[in-house]
């Protein structure tokens, strides 16, 4: 008897994350009897590579999900808000990469290494967390289990690919221009990103934190299932193409030595410890590209508080931070027999 | 009666910081009757620009300081260890930019906006702090005076110019190589810096922090004159040419709202508040280049602790972080009539 096969749709298939989703479905040999590429009318009719062929991109409509089992969405918040309910109403399970559904109580927010059991109560739409949150919780969950994290102070060093293909092109164009002695324009970011750092990711909120910073605060609590973890974040864009890095300071209820933290992390799913300062071995974005693991290094005790640790966390933001995590959610759904929407009326279609 | 004029020597005049020192002496019209450029035998005989002329670079020797009033050193730790005592023995006051004398109890460690009075007890050698420490204490001192800082968690985003001219060339060479599709080498840094971030600045110590990180811990206490301020640091190199940035989280004994902190900083010497998120105004390295002020923005309350604040601090690392601070020390010495060494026997010459 063969394993069950699924009809899979990728909505937003022409974007940076959509293409990565197709690549990862292929790499991991996801049990798909058929893969459908969906995008806006603007991209419909183009093709995207998948296995040894090209998929013709179809227009994403309310009717796209008839007969589809799993839809991976990476088409932006408003597209997802509109179309994900139609998919769920059709019985298709959506794994959505936008921020539209993340804090919705009807939707689990899942990192398979951290809270796979939250998939059990899904209603057809499952949210994929923000990239910087995913890699942080993969590193923090095992430490939380071992010593109960009470506070997190995180500063990020985020790659431009997190913004999308146009931002990758902007960094490259600006670097080439500056190297040629030219003035350069910024279109994607509010300021130049080449040879600069921007202490702004996403828009500013009422409290003067950015939306990205508050995502790290709220999503961490929801994924870890613990509202008592206090998180404060500073999210910063750096002129790196691929790979987000994070400087993470944590306070725990129970003392954890650096050695103990290293041992806990060495056993943790999805984590790879790279921590040998004597040999200049630590995580870096240039080594994380194309990798599935979240890399943790520079693990050291912070003696300014009783139970403090500093960590340096790096991952491929397009893979673990987006496409890979979505595919891993789909795999977990498949393994647990959860690829069917029971109640198709939880989300309102409009 | 004209103002007093001094004979000034710049040791290490051909380096990135030495050249900046000459530029700043000129810009600020330092009262110098003569400026002497000193460097190692390798550079002796070359010239460096100063005002409308070129200074002939002389070899730095034990005898270089006869008749010199003030020597600005930026020639590396071992050169400074060897030659600064000869300068002091000759009655010349040394302002040294290396780390050699910073934690020596005989030497004040000074940021003129923070602890000018420590110059009063100098013995001929005054230490200029580490670049990342200088800009941080300029921003923190007024907040410490207002609310008593108890703990600092800082993550840095440091430019390659902090390493010197060779590192500037390395980033440029690597960027050009990668843009041309070539493999690139790293000579200055342990890993590639172009489109990457390196969580290592300076060497690793026994406690697995880097020397740069521990400089921020120890120097902050000495400059602020308060051993009770607890500092934990993560120092990171980013692919930026000029301008260090810092994400700083502080805890204070007394509550300070973001608004109050902004008001305190707006009055502080050497600080410029750039904090209007609605207009996307915040400090960035591209705006700090060539500027004297330390820029502070993203000032916001951290509600994970009772009295917490997050700040984003940026300055020109070659100016305020090095050459400008040294010249400001010299100016303060001159204004206070402290440009003579009273006891020439404090430091041993060898």
Q: What is the mean pLDDT of residues A66-74?
A: 97
First CA to last CA distance, chain B? 41
Q: Does B226 touch chain A if contact means CB atoms closer than 8 Å?
A: no
The shortest CB-CB distance from A234 to any of B230, B280, B312 is to B312
pLDDT cut 70: percent of chain B above it = 99
The percent of residues in chain B predicted with pLDDT above 90, rounded, is 95
Q: Is the pLDDT of residue B1 over 70?
A: no
Record: contact B303-A232, CB cut-off 8 A: yes
- Which segment of A330-344, B115-129, B235-249, B297-311 scores lowest on mean pLDDT? A330-344
Query: If you average pLDDT over every residue of chain B, what do you get?
Result: 96
What's the fold here for domain A132-317? Dihydrodipicolinate Reductase; domain 2 (3.30.360)
A105 in Cβ contact with A98 (< 8 Å): no
Model pLDDT for residues A201-227, shown as the tens digit of each residue: 999 999 999 999 999 999 999 999 999
DSSP result, B244-288: EEEEEEEEESS---HHHHHHHHHTSTTEEE--BGGGTB---HHHH
Show the 3-state SS of chain A.
CCCCCEEEEEECCCCHHHHHHHHHHHHCCCCEEEEEEEECCCCCCCEEEECCEEEECEECCCCCCCCCCEEEECCCHHHHHHHHHHHHHCCCEEEECCCCCCCCCCCCECCCCCCHHHHHHCCCEEECCCHHHHHHHHHHHHHHHHHCEEEEEEEEEECHHHCCHHHHHHHHHHHHHHHCCCCCCCCCCCCCCCCCCECCCCCECCCCCEHHHHHHHHHHHHHHCCCCCEEEEECCECCCCCCEEEEEEEEECCCCCHHHHHHHHHCCCCEEECCEHHHCECCCHHHHCCCCCEEEEEEEEECCCCCEEEEEEEECCCHHHHHHHHHHHHHHHHHCCCCCCCCCCCCCCC
Answer yes or no: is pLDDT of A1 > 50.
no
Whether B144 sits among the annotated catalytic residues: the reply is no
The yes-or-no answer on residue B92 being catalytic is no
Q: Does A286 touch chain B (CB under 8 A)?
A: yes
| pLDDT of B31 higher than 70 | yes
Q: pLDDT band at B2, cuts 50/70/90?
A: low
- Cβ–Cβ < 8 Å for B271, B142: yes
A49 in Cβ contact with A57 (< 8 Å): no
For the stretch B263-275, pLDDT in tens is: 999 999 999 999 9
Asked if A181 reaches chain B (Cβ–Cβ under 8 Å), the answer is: no
A61 has pLDDT over 90:
yes
B6-129+323-335 and B132-317 in the same fold: no
Residue B122 confidence (pLDDT) above 50: yes
- Predicted confidence band of residue A342 (pLDDT cuts 50, 70, 90): confident
Set of chain B residues whose Cβ sits within 8 Å of the Cβ of A305? 151, 230
Is it the case that residue A127 has pLDDT exceeding 50?
yes
Query: Chain B residue closest to A275 (CA)?
Result: B208
pLDDT tens sequence across A159-181: 999 999 899 999 999 999 999 99
Inter-residue contact B129 to B219 (CB < 8 Å):
yes
Q: Please say if the pLDDT value at position A139 is more than 60.
A: yes
Cβ of A236 within 8 Å of Cβ of B258? The answer is no
A266 pLDDT higher than 90: yes
Chains A, B: CB contacts within 8 A come to 154
**Residues of A noted as catalytic:** 131, 244
Q: Is B278 on the interface with A (CB under 8 A)?
A: yes
- Give the pLDDT confidence of B214-231 residue by residue, as tens digits: 999 999 999 999 999 999
pLDDT of residue B343: 78
Which residues of A belong to the annotated binding site for NADP(+)? 14-17, 42-43, 161-162, 317
Residue range B108-132: mean pLDDT, rounded: 98
Each residue of B300-338: b (16+ CB within 10 Å) or e? bbbebbebbbbbbbbbbbbbbbbbbbbbbbbbbbbeeeb
Q: Does any CB of chain B come closer than 8 Å to the CB of residue A238?
A: yes
CA distance A110 to A118: 7
Has residue B345 got a pLDDT over 90?
no
Calculate the alpha carbon distances from A103 to A199, A223, A227 in Å. Answer: 24, 10, 13
pLDDT at A2 over 70: no
What is the average per-residue pLDDT within B82-104? 97
Nearest neighbour of B249 by CB, restricted to A175, A179, A232: A232
CATH architecture of B6-129+323-335: 3-Layer(aba) Sandwich (3.40)
Q: Residue B200 has what pLDDT?
A: 98
pLDDT of the residue at B321: 94
Nearest residue, CB atoms, B234 vs list A179, A241, A312:
A312
Rounded to whole angstroms, the Cα distance separating B312 from B304 reads 18
Residue B182 has pLDDT above 50, yes or no: yes
**pLDDT for residue A160:** 97
CB neighbours of residue B124 within 10 Å: 25
Looking at chain A, the whole-number percentage of residues with pLDDT higher than 70 is: 99
Question: What residue ranges do the domains of chain A occupy?
Answer: 6-129+323-335, 132-317
């Amino acid at each position: 008897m063969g394993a069950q096969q699924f009809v899979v749709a990728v909505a937003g298939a022409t974007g940076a994350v959509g293409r990565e989703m197709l690549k990862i479905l292929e790499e991991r040999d996801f049990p798909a009897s058929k893969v459908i590429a969906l995008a806006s009318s603007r991209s419909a009719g183009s093709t995207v590579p998948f296995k040894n062929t090209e998929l013709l991109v179809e227009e994403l409509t309310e009717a796209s999900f008839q007969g589809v089992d799993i839809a991976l969405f990476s088409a932006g918040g408003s597209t997802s808000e509109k179309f994900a309910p139609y998919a769920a109403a059709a019985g298709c399970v959506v794994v959505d990469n936008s921020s539209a559904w993340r804090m919705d109580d009807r939707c689990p927010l899942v990192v398979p290494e951290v809270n796979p059991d939250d998939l059990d109560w899904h209603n057809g739409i499952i949210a994929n967390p923000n990239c910087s949150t995913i890699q942080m919780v993969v590193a923090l969950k095992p430490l939380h289990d071992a010593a109960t994290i009470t506070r997190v102070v995180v500063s990020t060093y985020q790659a431009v690919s997190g913004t999308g293909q146009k931002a990758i092109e902007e960094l490259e164009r600006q670097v080439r221009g500056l190297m040629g002695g030219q003035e350069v324009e910024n279109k994607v970011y509010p300021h130049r990103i080449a040879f600069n750092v921007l202490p702004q990711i996403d828009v500013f909120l009422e409290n003067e934190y950015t939306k990205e910073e508050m995502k790290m605060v709220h999503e961490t609590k929801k994924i870890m299932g613990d509202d008592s973890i206090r998180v404060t974040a500073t999210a910063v864009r750096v002129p790196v193409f691929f790979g987000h890095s994070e400087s993470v300071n944590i306070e725990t209820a129970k003392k954890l030595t650096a050695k103990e933290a290293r041992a806990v992390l060495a056993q943790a799913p999805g984590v790879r410890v790279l921590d040998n300062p004597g040999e200049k071995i630590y995580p870096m974005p240039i080594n994380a590209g194309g990798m599935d693991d979240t890399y943790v290094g520079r693990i050291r005790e912070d003696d300014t508080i009783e139970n403090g640790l500093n960590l340096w966390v790096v991952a491929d933001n397009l893979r673990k931070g987006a496409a890979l995590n979505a595919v891993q959610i789909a795999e977990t759904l498949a393994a647990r027999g959860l690829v069917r929407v029971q109640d198709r009326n939880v989300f309102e279609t409009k």
